[in-house]
Amino acid sequence: MAAKQGIPIYTNLSDLFGSLGVSLKHVERWHDLAAEFERRFGKKPTYISRAPGRVNLIGEHIDYALFGVLPTAIERDILIACAPRDAASSLPHHSPGSVIADNMHTKYTRQIFAPSQLSDGNASHAEAWRLDIDTKELRWESYVKAGYYGVLNHHFAPANLSDNDEIQQPVAVDLLVTGSVPAGSGLSSSAAMVVASTLAFLAVNGKLENAATASGNALLNKGDLVRISMENEKRVGVNSGGMDQAASVMSDPSSALYISFHPELKAEPVRLPPGAVFIVANSLVVSDKAVTAKRRYNLRVVETLVAARILARSLGLDVGEKARVTLRQVVGLSAGEKEGEDIGVVSLMGALKRIQQELDILKPKNQDNEDELGVTMEEMIGLTGLAPDVFYDVYLSWVEIEATHFQLYQRAAHVFGEALRVLEFRDACLEVDNLSKLGQLMNESHFSCSTLFDCSCPELDQLTHLARTAGAYGSRLTGAGWGGCTVSLVAESEVDTFIRKIRETYPPYKDLDGETLNEVIFATKPSSGACVYKVE
């Protein structure tokens, strides 16, 4: 699927629904949202943007090491209805770019905010607009702001305008959000919010259609939207890879996606075998990213990057002092890979054979305290061969982490094993009658996440175990982990029995029924990627 394709803009709802590949229940939400928008703001929305959540079938915590992953967008999504606020509106806040943001969910209250323009007029300034996002406490509107921030600084910044462009002010916006992706569950509600918000603010400011006239290109291209959304999501303080945004933007209802990031972003369709159903089950443990990023997600990002540098050094690869080389790049360099080459199972296995001999370098030399497995900061810096101030600059200055020991060996071992499993899974999808093989790869992935990457939790271990006992071919955590959802591969004919067994055996599900049960355990089917509806 070409990253160069434009973002679809529909002016006709039946075309839109035809392309979505979603069920009636999800279709009704569009009408409800538009009607509620009109009720609250006294006018019809001018645009509705949509971005789906995703389930990652395999390839966990390897996107930021630039290895390929295999997710699929799901029909659960975020919709944002929006319209410019006209001067005659009875609502206050007409300053440029001010926003009144409402959410259909009663738990999320109305938020009013406005960006401030940095007035130094310096065209080379990286930040032209400021919008406060509290990274200590992630609130629903933080993700709306994250999308908006990127639109302001890409499209309303003097540095990005050519001499002939008029300096324009962003319009004041009313918006209403509705979402069916459960938050904090590893189905990437966050990326769906950021992508939908980025699209809504581009659309309402005329930047989607203007892009077509100004450059002659077909609208905004999907690759650009993934890149802007990835940058935008970092504003909330999590240094994520690009899997979620790519899945949310580039998916298509006929298949899952193999998304690769090296040497550039690419998404290839992977047809799932007939008779295979992927069932998502929520452990109901909520992983609070704002609280745990320093000790978990961001720490893993740093551990895998530092492991890459140490391995590069030990393999005698020249990567320069300042580059944050990734494990994927180390594989490419050590295998003498040609520019732009895509890696397959055989070439990755070959490269890993050589690297595996060096992996022990990542282990601590003297481990006398069992509880503190891993190298200390001092040991780690020593292994990179960098001066401490350079190390700080390259690996710590841009991210907040909290740790005394770093498990470099385990993290690198997980990343390499998982990267290989993704390619094996992709290839096995092409073979007939291969559900057991796919299931086995999923089980191995979960085991590696749990023991080497330490991103599981007792409930996820229990739920995946119960899923296997209930007849799944395989089961694993999906998304960042430490709570959230599992994904299990089940034969189509067994879906109802499977769900019933899980309901009976996973204690938090005991009292759930009907819609409440369907909220926490459900079969997924691939859905189409992000789009915009222009209300005419």
Which of 3, 63, 445, 527 is close enough to bind ligand NG1 by CB under 6 A?
63
**Using rule CB under 5 A, residue 142 touches Mg ion:** no
64/409 with CB nearer ligand NG1: 64
Q: Which helix (H) or strand (E) holds 349?
A: helix 345-356
Contact 384, 310 (CB under 8 A): yes
Total residues in contact with ligand NG1, by rule CB under 6 A: 17
Which of 439, 479, 526, 529 is close enough to bind ligand NG1 by CB under 6 A?
479
Question: 454: which residues sit within 8 A by CB, 6+ positions away?
Answer: 407, 410
**Using rule CB under 6 A, residue 190 touches ligand NG1:** yes
**Using rule CB under 5 A, residue 287 touches Mg ion:** no
**Using rule CB under 5 A, residue 188 touches Mg ion:** yes
Which of 75, 102, 141, 233 is close enough to bind ligand NG1 by CB under 6 A?
233
Report, in Å, the least distance between residue 244 CB and Mg ion.
6
From residue 446, how far is each of 57, 63, 220, 304, 459 by CA, in Å?
11, 16, 37, 18, 13
* Nearest-angstrom CA–CA distance, 229 and 533: 19
Which of 142, 178, 198, 240 is close enough to bind ligand NG1 by CB under 6 A?
240
Residue span 60-79 as binding mask against Mg ion, x where in contact by CB under 5 A, dash where not:
--------------------
- Residue keyed to tokens 């704002």: 290
- What six digits make up the tokens of 437? 């093989």
**Using rule CB under 6 A, residue 186 touches ligand NG1:** yes
- What six digits make up the tokens of 205? 């400011």
Helix, strand, or coil here: 329? helix
Q: Is 511 exposed, middle or buried (0-12, 13-18, 19+ CB in 10 A)?
A: exposed
Report, in Å, the least distance between residue 121 CB and Mg ion.
36
Which of 151, 238, 330, 383 is close enough to bind ligand NG1 by CB under 6 A?
238
- Residue in 244, 252, 318, 433 annotated catalytic: 244
Q: Hey, what amino acid is at 461? A: D
Report, in Å, the least distance between residue 182 CB and ligand NG1.
11
Report, in Å, the least distance between residue 127 CB and ligand NG1.
22
Report, in Å, the least distance between residue 191 CB and Mg ion.
6
Report CA 503 to chain centroid distance, whole Å. 29
188/440 with CB nearer ligand NG1: 188
Report CA 104 to chain centroid distance, whole Å. 23
The one-character DSSP state at 394 is I
| DSSP percent split of the chain into helix, strand, coil, nearest 5 | 45, 15, 40
Total residues in contact with Mg ion, by rule CB under 5 A: 2
Stretch that binds ligand NG1, among 134-142, 187-195, 353-361, 492-500 (CB under 6 A): 187-195
Report, in Å, the least distance between residue 54 CB and ligand NG1.
8
Q: Hey, what amino acid is at 325? A: V
The CA-based diameter of the chain, rounded to the nearest angstrom, is 72
**Using rule CB under 5 A, residue 190 touches Mg ion:** yes
Q: How far apart are the first and last CA of the chain?
A: 29
Q: Using CB under 6 A, which residues numbered 427 to 446 contact ligand NG1?
A: none
Contact 312, 257 (CB under 8 A): no
**Using rule CB under 6 A, residue 244 touches ligand NG1:** yes
The one-character DSSP state at 393 is I
The one-character DSSP state at 525 is -
Q: Is 92 exposed, middle or buried (0-12, 13-18, 19+ CB in 10 A)?
A: exposed
**Using rule CB under 6 A, residue 198 touches ligand NG1:** no
Residue 244 known to be catalytic: yes
Cis peptide leading into residue 263 (ω within 30°):
yes
142/434 with CB nearer Mg ion: 142
78/243 with CB nearer ligand NG1: 243
**Using rule CB under 6 A, residue 488 touches ligand NG1:** no
Report, in Å, the least distance between residue 216 CB and Mg ion.
35
State the binding partner of 61 from ligand NG1, Mg ion, none, CB within 5 to 8 A by kind.
ligand NG1
**Using rule CB under 6 A, residue 480 touches ligand NG1:** yes
* Nearest-angstrom CA–CA distance, 175 and 127: 24
* Nearest-angstrom CA–CA distance, 227 and 7: 13
Report, in Å, the least distance between residue 61 CB and ligand NG1.
4
Binding site residues, Mg ion, CB under 5 A: 188, 190
Which residues are known to be catalytic? 244
Binding site residues, ligand NG1, CB under 6 A: 56, 60-61, 63-64, 186, 188, 190-191, 233, 238, 240-241, 243-244, 479-480
